[in-house]
């Protein structure tokens, strides 16, 4: 399989909490972050800098970052939708900023109210500013295998979006099986389409466990050289625009 180590990107504090009905106070989220870091995790997404009007669970992410313990080798990561969110992330001292789009036009319209092409253009100033500030940029692509509105997504479509994000300046692309419909053969087909375009080291996999296939899909991607995997403590997560989808694969 090549490398004998893998990297976990812990999502519980952001993807895990963003749809919970009761917001968790910033101080408790900071304690949670510290406990995750103490367990040995080196990449932790601490939250997102989005409007608290739309995602109240992510309010006060700046306060979370102000209260966490930093250490060498620990990457503090956050999601940002635009330049305003990026400015908040930079002021709070995030190490990695993430942007997000989808491989499905319908999902993108419902999730962030724009087309895929429009979302990528919106990211351009965000990525440029982040790189100027010396930050790494991660890009999420939702619905890389299936969409709750469009059904099956063609691997070639995912490859095209991935290539555009890398060309934009993203250091890493996380491929998200948002509704958890993938099986190993779909993962192989997806990687067949994507891997000829850029190094496997720039790819990560984000699995949801709706059909109990997350671990099998991770193993399939390990066979293809993927070494970065998103997960959430206790399998937290879901998606308000993908009804029936269960949480992330558990850390």
Which band of pLDDT confidence, cut at 50, 70 and 90, is reported for residue 4?
confident
Total-model pTM: 0.94
Q: What is the CATH number of the domain that holds 129?
A: 3.20.20.70
Per-residue pLDDT tens over the stretch 31-51: 999 999 999 999 999 999 999
The least confident of 137-141, 154-158, 170-174, 245-249 is 245-249
Tokens standing for 127?
A: 């990525």
Please give the average per-residue pLDDT across 59-66, as a whole number.
98
Residues 6+ apart with CB under 8 A from 203: 162, 172, 173, 174, 175, 194, 195, 226, 228
Q: Looking at the domain assignment, is residue 240 inside a domain? A: no
Q: Looking at the domain assignment, is residue 245 inside a domain? A: no
Predicted pLDDT at 198? 86
3-state DSSP call for residue 10?
A: strand
**Statement: residue 55 has pLDDT above 80:** yes
Q: What is the DSSP letter of 15?
A: I
Tokens standing for 36?
A: 């995750």
Domain count, the chain: 1
Q: Which domain holds residue 115?
A: 7-235
Q: Is residue 239 annotated as part of the catalytic site, yes or no? A: yes
| Residue 89 burial (C-beta neighbours within 10 Å; 0-12, 13-18, 19+) | buried
Which band of pLDDT confidence, cut at 50, 70 and 90, is reported for residue 181?
very high
Reported as type and span, the H/E element at residue 207 is strand 203-207
Q: Looking at the domain assignment, is residue 249 inside a domain? A: no
Q: Looking at the domain assignment, is residue 26 inside a domain? A: yes
Q: Looking at the domain assignment, is residue 77 inside a domain? A: yes
Question: What region does 86 belong to: left with phi over 0, alpha with psi -120 to 50, or beta?
Answer: alpha
Return the bridge partners of 177, or none: 207
Compute the distance between CA of residue 125 and CA of residue 113 in angstroms, rounded to an integer.
Answer: 18
Q: Looking at the domain assignment, is residue 1 inside a domain? A: no
In the numeric block, the tokens 């009007």 are attached to: 53
Q: Looking at the domain assignment, is residue 230 inside a domain? A: yes
Please give the average per-residue pLDDT across 203-210, as a whole number.
96
Among candidate residues 143, 147, 207, 239, the one labeled active-site is 239
In the numeric block, the tokens 């963003």 are attached to: 18
How many residues does this entry show for the chain? Answer: 251
Closest CA to 239 of 64, 107, 50: 107
Residue-wise DSSP of 109-126 = HHHHSS-HHHHHHHHHHH
Q: Looking at the domain assignment, is residue 250 inside a domain? A: no
Predicted pLDDT at 237? 84
């Amino acid at each position: 399989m090549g490398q004998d180590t893998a990297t976990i990107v812990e999502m519980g504090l952001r993807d895990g909490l963003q749809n919970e009905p009761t917001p968790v106070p910033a101080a408790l989220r900071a304690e949670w972050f510290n406990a995750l870091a103490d367990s040995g995790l080196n990449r932790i997404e601490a939250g997102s800098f989005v409007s608290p009007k739309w995602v109240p669970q992510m309010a006060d992410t700046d306060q979370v970052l102000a209260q966490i313990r930093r250490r060498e080798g620990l990457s503090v990561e956050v999601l940002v939708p635009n330049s305003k969110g990026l400015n908040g992330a930079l002021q709070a001292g995030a190490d990695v900023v993430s942007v997000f789009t989808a491989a499905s036009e319908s999902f993108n319209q419902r999730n962030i109210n724009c087309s895929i092409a429009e979302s990528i253009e919106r990211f351009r100033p965000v990525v440029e500013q982040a790189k100027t500030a010396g930050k790494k940029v991660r890009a999420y692509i939702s619905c890389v295998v299936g969409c709750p509105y469009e059904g099956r997504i063609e691997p070639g479509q995912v490859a095209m979006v991935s290539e555009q994000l890398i060309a934009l300046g993203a250091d890493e692309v996380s491929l998200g099986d948002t509704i958890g419909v993938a099986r190993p053969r779909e993962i192989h087909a997806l990687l067949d389409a994507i891997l000829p375009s850029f190094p496997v080291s720039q790819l990560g996999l984000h699995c949801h466990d709706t059909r109990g296939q997350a671990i099998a899909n991770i193993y399939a991607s390990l066979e293809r050289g993927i070494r970065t995997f998103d997960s959430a403590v206790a399998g937290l997560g879901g998606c308000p625009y993908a009804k029936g989808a269960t949480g992330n694969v558990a850390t």
